[in-house]
Structure 1
Amino acid sequence: MEVNCEGCAGCCIDWRALASERSDHERRGPRTPLDDAYNLVPLTRGDARDFLDAGLADALTPRLWRDESGVTVDGVELAAIDGKPVFFLGLRKPPKPVAPFDTDPRWLPTCVFLDPATLQCRIHDRPEYPTECAEYPGHNLELGSTTECERVEATFGGDRLLDDDPPDDLSGLLLGPQAVGEKVFVYPDPDDLAGVLARLLADDLTREDRARFVAAAVAGRPGTTSTDREQFAAAFADAKVADSWAGRAVAEWESLEDGGDAPRPDAAERVEDDRGAPPTPGW
């Protein structure tokens, strides 16, 4: 597997606004996500623990799905297992001033860890770098699914997927029951989410809202729908006080876009670098 990522980062940016046709490949199944994020990276339980330990819990966000046969919270019918809402845990995508595919800079939803100037990941060589990101697009190739590299090629031209053989050391796909507690998590108490769903639908989750889901992911028992309550309490306490460079940068990026500031990728030096963001090596 070999990919050409320079000037692209298509798997890290919601570039649909640049395309003539909108892709909704994440919304073709029987359950519709409540959020509108594109290419959400599903983190594993180990990933969630690594982010929590690194003080980066405020960079994470949940994804839940609608399902008429699930459980109802705040009037929303949610996908559930054993009456407990199920969710993915992914990376936040604030607006950033980016210029992928040789386009002019534009405000686009972008991975919280992507440097908008170099279009490289700031945590690529760090312990918390997600497994799914490290192996992308390996799982797509293994399953015979279209990769984001190919979508970019079809829309903007160029060569991005240079070798379509999945790597030999690819980790498990975590499909079906084996995903429960490892990639598909359950929230233990639906009543705790009263008010949270309304904020999620309004794209206005609080730090504490997101921390609840981080704690549930970390404290879930793999292969089951049970939760270690003591571990949940400890993880929740740590997650809700997380105050990382990444979380603080999100608020400023949102403020700059809302204020009508011109999209300038070099603003990352002030918004992210000056807050302690790890550097990227450049191309």
Structure 2
Amino acid sequence: MELRCEGCAGCCVDWRAFAPDAAGSDRAGDRPPLDDVYGLAPLTRDEVAAFLDDGLGDALVPRLFEPAERDPTVSIDGVEVAAAGDRPVFVVGLRKPPKPVAPIGTDKPRWLDACVFLDPTTLQCRIHDEDLYPRTCATYPGHNLELDAETECERVEAAGGGDRLLDAEPPSDLPPPAFGPQALGTTVFAYPDPDDLDGVVDRIRTDSLTADDRARFVGAAVGSRPGSLSVDRDRMAEARAHVRDADSWAGRAVREWTARAGSDGAAVDLDPESRDRLVSELEDDAGAPGTPGWER
């Protein structure tokens, strides 16, 4: 597997606004998510815990699902959601605020939802190859290639973003996929107290989850036991407290970008120097790890 990622970030950015026919959808499977986030990368329980340990609990967000035809369900706010037994199932990923980015080979920055860890200027991940770098990101698009499924690289190519997938041979050392029989309690979690979730469905659908909402789910993920529906409540409570107390550069950047953003897909009304200064102010100067730039 060989990729050309420079100037792309197609798997980190929601670029549907200007190439809807080429872009994919997280809603294409049997269990579409309740939210409309594009390309959410599910984290493992241990990865979620590692983000909390680094004070980055405010960079995390849950995702719930509509049920497949024969799935067990739980009703939240009058909406049936996919469940395991009597517990709604969910995953945890990284938040995607609007940022001034020019992905997939385009030149003009637009306001597009992008991973909180994506540097808008270099289009590089700020935690790439670091201990926090998610397994899903590190192995992408290996599982797609293994299953002969379309990749984001190919979608970008179809949108005129240049050659991106240079070698389509999947790696020989791929870990198990995020979803499957082994995923329960490891990547797919079951929320233990569905009666506590009044109002959550609407807030997920309108991208207005509160810090307390996020803390509830992240805590349940960290407290989960692999292969089981059971949750360690002490561990869950401790993790929730960490999320509620988090005040990282990433969480602050989400708030600042959201407050400053134009409409989805709108051109950024800043010259390049002003945009770079704004990125430095909201991310680099606030404590974000730097990116190395692209080797020539």
Query: Per the shorter chain, which TM-score range?
Result: over 0.9
- Which residue in 1 is equivalent to 2:280? 269
Q: Report the Cα offset of residue 11 of structure 1.
A: 0.3
Q: Report the Cα offset of residue 197 of structure 1.
A: 2.2
Q: Report the Cα offset of residue 23 of structure 1.
A: 3.8
The one of 94, 116, 119 aligned to 1:115: 119
Question: Please, which runs of 5 or more residues in structure 2 have no aligned partner?
Answer: none
- Which residue in 2 is equivalent to 1:90? 93
Return the alpha-carbon distance in structure 1 between the equivalents of residues 24 and 155 of structure 2.
12
Q: 1:83-124 CA distances to partner (integer Å, 9 max, x unpaired)?
A: 100011111110000012123110000000000000000011
Q: Report the Cα offset of residue 22 of structure 1.
A: 6.1
Q: 1:187-232 CA distances to partner (integer Å, 9 max, x unpaired)?
A: 1100111122222222111111111111111111111111011111
Instruction: Describe the SS at the equivalent of 1:90.
Output: strand
Assess if the C-alpha contact under 8 Å between 2:15 and 2:23 holds in 1.
no
TM-score (norm 1): 0.95
- Which residue in 2 is equivalent to 1:81? 84
- Which residue in 2 is equivalent to 1:256? 260
Partner amino acid, structure 2, of 1:194: D
- Which residue in 2 is equivalent to 1:106? 110
Q: 1:38-63 CA distances to partner (integer Å, 9 max, x unpaired)?
A: 11101111111111111111101111
Partner amino acid, structure 2, of 1:196: V
Partner amino acid, structure 2, of 1:88: V
Partner amino acid, structure 2, of 1:276: G
Q: Report the Cα offset of residue 20 of structure 1.
A: 4.8
Instruction: Describe the SS at the equivalent of 1:156.
Output: coil
Return the alpha-carbon distance in structure 2 between the equivalents of residues 88 and 274 of structure 1.
31
Question: Please, which runs of 5 or more residues in structure 1 have no aligned partner?
Answer: none
Write out aligned runs for 1:45-56 (5 A).
Answer: 45-56=45-56
Instruction: Describe the SS at the equivalent of 1:17.
Output: coil
- Which residue in 2 is equivalent to 1:40? 40
Return the alpha-carbon distance in structure 2 between the equivalents of residues 202 and 98 of structure 1.
23
Aligned positions, number: 283
Assess if the C-alpha contact under 8 Å between 2:22 and 2:156 holds in 1.
no
How big is the alpha-carbon RMSD for the aligned residues of Structure 1 and Structure 2? 1.7
Assess if the C-alpha contact under 8 Å between 2:37 and 2:96 holds in 1.
yes
User: Is 189-198 or 250-259 further displaced after alignment?
Assistant: 250-259
Assess if the C-alpha contact under 8 Å between 2:179 and 2:188 holds in 1.
no
Q: Is 2:141 aligned against 1:130?
A: no
Q: Is 2:224 aligned against 1:220?
A: yes
- Which residue in 2 is equivalent to 1:229? 233
Assess if the C-alpha contact under 8 Å between 2:136 and 2:178 holds in 1.
no
Partner amino acid, structure 2, of 1:39: G
Change (3 A) 1:112 1:75: same
Instruction: Describe the SS at the equivalent of 1:86.
Output: strand
Q: 1:127-170 CA distances to partner (integer Å, 9 max, x unpaired)?
A: 11101111111111112111100110111142101111111221
Return the alpha-carbon distance in structure 2 between the equivalents of residues 75 and 182 of structure 1.
28
Instruction: Describe the SS at the equivalent of 1:214.
Output: helix
Assess if the C-alpha contact under 8 Å between 2:111 and 2:262 holds in 1.
no
Q: Which has the higher helix share?
A: 1
- Which residue in 1 is equivalent to 2:143? 139
Assess if the C-alpha contact under 8 Å between 2:42 and 2:178 holds in 1.
no
Partner amino acid, structure 1, of 2:84: I
* Percent of pairs with identical residues: 60
Change (3 A) 1:269 1:170: same
TM-score (norm 2): 0.91
Q: Report the Cα offset of residue 18 of structure 1.
A: 1.6
Q: Report the Cα offset of residue 277 of structure 1.
A: 0.4
Q: Is 2:14 aligned against 1:14?
A: yes
